[in-house]
Amino acid sequence: MTGYWWSERIGPGFAHSYQVELLYEERTPYQHLFVFKTPLWGRALVLDGVVQLTLADEYIYHEMMVHVPFLGRKRPVRSALIIGGADGGTLREVLSHDSIERVVMVELDKQVLTACQKYMPEVCQCWDDPRLELIIGDGAKYVEDAASRGEQFDSILLDSTDPVGPAICLFERPFHENIAKCLTDDGVVVRQSGLPRTMPKVMPFVMKRFEDVMPRVEVYRAPVAAYGDEMAFVIATKDGESCALPNSNLVGRYYNPECHKAAFSLPTWWQRLIDEYVDDGTVPIETVDCF
Ligand code: SAM
């Protein structure tokens, strides 16, 4: 390990510093990509200065991203649309469900996908699964086209970057309208909605956009260690049913039925962020930088 240190700016006057060995760097057409090796977290993928995942804790995020919507539904989930998710962790967990017959994954940046397959192959070994259709393209354009041809999914998993750069279109109103059209009558959508600690407007904003088009919107949380605080997931169902209770006894590395139930209990300060949010429709673009 070299003595080189890299910092992620988390918020004003606050950063996480990692001792790193640089394994790969590229300026893709969409973002600035690093793959680092770190002593505590293992390999880490960084896009535009923001840690996307580390090998040491990615299972927490990916299990909670997938098992909560899948097992919170009474009917087995047969189809999934993943938007983003280049590392393959969400895909891995989706394909671990025997009920899944079809997965479409739409990732904008082929270079991120290639870098993850080369430098983090252990995250996903399902790239050749016959149930998968992998599309390189913009997720907003895909759902617009899918909505107009009447294509629908039982589940949509929004595993994109935060509302910066190429992901901004995934936070706009037309995208949510198309998401609702692309869900089956009892379909479910989930989105990683940032850390309320450092992005206090993102979670309530995402809730509002789903409330515009879906009858039931809930929030749950997961402690993804390398992000530094609990992450919010916003989940919405088209039939108005709650996802808060598990319909299975699945036990993962992080996920289990008790964690599923507990994840829906919100701390008072999160509830206040939701109750006090003033929605003017503007995407809460966060400024992040790398130094
Ligand atoms: N775990 C994550 C996090 O912490 O934010 C997400 C990881 S995954 C690597 C995020 C992916 O979203 C990136 O690979 C990025 O290229 C992709 N993405 C961003 N905007 C997109 C868009 N408009 N359509 C499809 N994929 C997009």
pLDDT in tens, 261-280: 999 999 999 999 999 999 98
Looking at domain 58-275, its CATH class is: alpha beta
What architecture does CATH give domain 5-54? Roll (2.30)
Residue 96 and residue 131 in contact, taking contact as beta carbons nearer than 8 Å: no
Burial class (CB in 10 A: 0-12, 13-18, 19+), 229: middle
pLDDT in tens, 18-65: 999 999 999 999 999 999 999 999 999 999 999 999 999 999 999 999
pLDDT band for 1, please (50, 70, 90 cuts).
low
Tell me what pLDDT residue 275 has: 97
Q: Of 159, 239, 279, 289, which is the active-site residue?
A: 159
Distance CA(92)–CA(87), nearest Å, equals 10
CA of 86 to the centre of ligand 1 (A): 7
Tell me what pLDDT residue 164 has: 83
71, pLDDT greater than 90:
yes
159 as an active site residue: the answer is: yes
Distance CA(249)–CA(240), nearest Å, equals 23
Tell me whether the CATH fold assigned to 5-54 matches the one assigned to 58-275.
no
CA of 41 to the centre of ligand 1 (A): 20
Average per-residue pLDDT in the chain?
A: 94
Answer yes or no: is the C-beta of 65 below 6 A from any ligand 1 atom. Answer: no
Tell me what pLDDT residue 173 has: 94
Nearest CA to ligand 1 atom 19: 167
As a whole number, mean pLDDT of residues 253-257 equals 98
Tell me what pLDDT residue 13 has: 86
Answer yes or no: is the C-beta of 87 below 6 A from any ligand 1 atom. Answer: yes
Residue among 27, 62, 160 whose CB has most ligand 1 atoms within 8 A, to mutate: 160
CA of 47 to the centre of ligand 1 (A): 9
As a whole number, mean pLDDT of residues 224-228 equals 89
Q: Which atom of ligand 1 is nearest to the CA of 138?
A: 24
Helix (H) or strand (E) holding 237: strand 231-237
As a whole number, mean pLDDT of residues 75-80 equals 97
The domain limits of the chain are: 5-54, 58-275
Q: Which atom of ligand 1 is nearest to the CA of 109?
A: 16
Residue 214 and residue 236 in contact, taking contact as beta carbons nearer than 8 Å: yes
Residue 37 and residue 23 in contact, taking contact as beta carbons nearer than 8 Å: yes
Nearest CA to ligand 1 atom 3: 52
Helix (H) or strand (E) holding 63: helix 58-71
Nearest-10 crossing angle of helices 268-275, 202-211: 60
285, pLDDT greater than 80:
no
Residue 29 and residue 43 in contact, taking contact as beta carbons nearer than 8 Å: no
As a whole number, mean pLDDT of residues 200-224 equals 96
271 CB-near residues (< 8 Å, 6+ apart): none
Distance CA(202)–CA(192), nearest Å, equals 10
141 CB-near residues (< 8 Å, 6+ apart): none
Give the residue carrying structure tokens 């507990």.
262
pLDDT in tens, 139-172: 999 999 999 999 999 999 999 988 888 899 999 9
Query: CA quadruple 199, 232, 61, 183: dihedral positive or negative?
Result: negative
Enter the pTM of the model: 0.96
